């Protein structure tokens, strides 16, 4: 199989964020901050660190704030320049992405993750591509998750997904790997099941929202087969590539926060804030003082 470089990343950001109502009534859930950066910015930074050149956001109605976020806030910039606020200007600059590198595609129908990825097919073309689910904050600043996956991809080619062992009682929430040969952090993928019923999971290795995929998966998604929850599932389409193309899972070694969940989002805020020199010490003192 020919080696295709990974230059495009797809970010499915069309979800309604009902778990975070009322905050998400007028704001995309991807804009919820973790400390002072929107969730989506962490995933974008991770993609850029892996050498991604083109960012495709699969959005939906009511997600306009995402487009504004990556735009230049001209009035704000002018006012900061006038007031000599160089630190704030630098913060804004760090979020700036060169024009033409961002593409916005609408998912008109909330038909599932597989459908969202398929909506990006014309932008992806015939290249390998990455998918990042921004709800999953994979924290490993020294070696970002997608970068590690890309390094594995350069060795193995084909399809690579990021995985982590989850407790037995949580396997029904995830795409679960049926594992083959294991070589360190790399596991051969023999099968994939989306949200297996309790007691039926082939392992505890769960997909945690990072994928490097070959474009042929789009042809499978195009068939529009419905899976778990009546949705077009990315996991089901990927499962059809097993045996046709190399397929591996890479175990993530950093800290994972499920920010699609309120508790996970709170934990991410506390953990990342504690790492910060400007707010960490005060927060630590306050936490120690809590009578828990």
Is residue 203 near ligand G1P by the rule CB under 6 A? no
DSSP letter at 168 equals G
CB-CB contact of 283 with 277 (8 Å): no
- Judged by beta carbon, residue 199 or residue 229, the one nearer ligand G1P is 229
Taking the alpha carbons of 275, 279, 282, 283 in that order, is the dihedral positive or negative? negative
Cα gap 232→168, rounded to integer Å: 25
Is residue 136 near ligand G1P by the rule CB under 6 A? yes
- Judged by beta carbon, residue 150 or residue 256, the one nearer ligand G1P is 256
Q: Which helix (H) or strand (E) holds 212?
A: strand 205-213
Rounded to the nearest whole angstrom, what is the least distance from the CB of residue 57 to ligand G1P in the complex? 16
The only residue of 80, 133, 217, 272 in contact with ligand G1P, by rule CB under 6 A: 133
Nearest residue to ligand G1P by CB is 175
For the chain, how far is it from start to end, CA to CA, in angstroms?
56
The only residue of 194, 239, 248, 257 in contact with ligand G1P, by rule CB under 6 A: 194
Return the residues of window 23-82 that contact ligand G1P according to CB under 6 A.
none
The only residue of 129, 174, 252, 257 in contact with ligand G1P, by rule CB under 6 A: 174
Q: Which two tokens stand for residue 225?
A: 């087969």
- Judged by beta carbon, residue 58 or residue 80, the one nearer ligand G1P is 58
Residue 190 main-chain phi, psi, to 5 deg:
-100, -20
The only residue of 32, 55, 146, 208 in contact with ligand G1P, by rule CB under 6 A: 208
Taking the alpha carbons of 153, 154, 157, 158 in that order, is the dihedral positive or negative? positive
The only residue of 119, 206, 218, 220 in contact with ligand G1P, by rule CB under 6 A: 206
Which of 24-32, 97-105, 196-204, 205-213 is the region at the interface with ligand G1P (rule: CB under 6 A)?
Answer: 205-213
Measured over all CA atoms, what is the biggest interatomic distance in the chain, rounded to whole angstroms? 62
Cα gap 259→264, rounded to integer Å: 5
Residue 154 main-chain phi, psi, to 5 deg:
-65, -30
Return the residues of window 92-121 that contact ligand G1P according to CB under 6 A.
113
Rounded to the nearest whole angstrom, what is the least distance from the CB of residue 102 to ligand G1P in the complex? 23
Catalog residues that contact ligand G1P under the rule CB under 6 A. 113, 133, 136, 174-175, 194, 206-209, 233-235, 260
């Amino acid at each position: 199989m020919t080696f295709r470089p990974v230059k495009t990343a797809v970010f499915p950001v069309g979800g309604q964020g009902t778990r975070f109502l009322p905050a998400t009534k007028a704001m995309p859930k991807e804009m919820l901050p973790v400390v002072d950066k929107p969730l989506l910015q962490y995933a974008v930074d991770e993609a850029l660190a892996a050498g991604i050149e083109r960012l495709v956001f699969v959005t939906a109605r009511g997600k306009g704030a995402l487009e504004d976020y990556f735009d230049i806030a001209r009035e704000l910039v002018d006012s900061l320049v006038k007031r000599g606020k160089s630190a704030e200007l630098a913060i804004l600059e760090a979020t700036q992405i060169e024009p033409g590198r961002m593409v916005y595609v609408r998912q008109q129908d909330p038909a599932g993750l597989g459908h969202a990825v398929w909506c990006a097919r014309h932008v992806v073309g015939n290249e390998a591509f990455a998918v990042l689910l921004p709800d999953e904050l994979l924290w490993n600043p020294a070696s970002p998750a997608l970068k590690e996956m890309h390094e594995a991809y350069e060795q193995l080619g084909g399809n690579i997904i990021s995985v982590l062992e989850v407790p037995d009682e949580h396997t029904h929430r995830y795409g679960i790997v049926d594992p083959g040969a294991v070589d360190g952090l790399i596991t051969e993928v023999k099968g994939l099941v989306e949200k297996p019923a309790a007691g039926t999971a082939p392992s505890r290795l769960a997909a945690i929202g990072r994928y490097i995929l070959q474009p042929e998966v789009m042809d499978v998604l195009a068939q529009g087969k419905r899976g778990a929850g009546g949705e077009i599932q990315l996991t089901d389409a990927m499962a059809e590539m097993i045996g046709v193309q190399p397929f591996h899972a890479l175990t993530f070694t950093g800290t994972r926060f499920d920010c699609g969940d309120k508790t996970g989002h709170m934990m991410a805020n506390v953990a990342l804030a504690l790492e910060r020199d400007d707010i960490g010490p005060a927060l630590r003192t306050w936490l120690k003082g809590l009578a828990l």
